[in-house]
Structure 1
Amino acid sequence: MSRRGETVLNYAVLTLFAVLAVFPVLGVVFSAVTPPAQSSPSFTVPHSLYLGNFATAWQQGHFGTYLRSSLLVAVVTVLLTSVLAILAGYSFATFRFPGRGVLFAVTLVGLMVPAEAFVIPLYFDLRGVGVTDTYWALILPQTAQSLGFGVFWMRNFFRSVPSSIVEAAQLDGAPDFTRLWRILVPIGRPALLTMAMLVFMWTWNEFLLPLVMVTSDGLRTAPLGLTFFQGQHTTQFSLLAAASMVVALPVVLLYMFLQRHFIRGMLAGALRD
Structure 2
Amino acid sequence: MISKREATLNYLILGVFAIIALFPLLGVLTSALTDPSESSASLTFPTSPHFENFLTAWNEGHFGTYMRSSVLVTVSVVVISSLLAVLAGYAFATMRFRGQSVLFYILLLGLMVPSEALIIPLYYDLRGVGLTDTYWALIFPQVAQSLAFCTFWMRSFFRGIPTSLIEAAKLDGATRWSVLWRILVPISRPALLTMAMLVFMWTWNEFLMPLVMITSENLRTAPLGLAFFQGQHTSQFSLLAAGATIVAAPVVIVYLFLQRHFIAGMLAGAVK
Q: 1:209 offset after TM fit, Å?
A: 0.3
Q: 1:3 offset after TM fit, Å?
A: 4.2
Other structure's SS at 1:36 match: coil
**For residues 38-74 of structure 1, what are the alpha-carbon distances to aligned partners after superposition, in whole Å with 9 as ceiling and x for unaligned?**
1011111111110010000000000000000000000
Other structure's SS at 1:258 match: helix
Other structure's SS at 2:58 match: helix
Counterpart of 2:27?
Answer: 27
Alignment of 1:69-80 (within 5 A): 69-80=69-80
Alignment of 1:167-182 (within 5 A): 167-182=167-182
Counterpart of 2:91?
Answer: 91
Distance 2:87 2:57 in 1: 42
Range with bigger deviation, 231-240 or 9-18: 9-18
Q: Work out the number of aligned pairs and report it.
A: 271
User: Which runs of structure 1 show a deviation greater than 6 angstroms over 4 or more consecutive aligned residues?
Assistant: none
Q: 1:13 offset after TM fit, Å?
A: 1.8
Counterpart of 1:164?
Answer: 164
Counterpart of 2:39?
Answer: 39
Counterpart of 1:122?
Answer: 122
Alignment of 1:1-273 (within 5 A): 3-272=3-272
Distance 2:148 2:25 in 1: 32
Query: What is the RMSD computed on CA atoms of the aligned residues?
Result: 1.1
Distance 1:173 1:118 in 2: 46
Range with bigger deviation, 96-105 or 237-246: 96-105
Distance 1:102 1:246 in 2: 44
Q: 1:4 offset after TM fit, Å?
A: 4.5
Q: 1:6 offset after TM fit, Å?
A: 3.3
Distance 1:3 1:95 in 2: 47
**For residues 107-139 of structure 1, what are the alpha-carbon distances to aligned partners after superposition, in whole Å with 9 as ceiling and x for unaligned?**
111111111100000000000111010000000
Distance 2:165 2:101 in 1: 25
Q: 1:15 offset after TM fit, Å?
A: 1.8
The percentage of counterpart residues that share the same residue type is 67
Other structure's SS at 2:14 match: helix
Distance 1:45 1:64 in 2: 28
Distance 2:118 2:247 in 1: 27
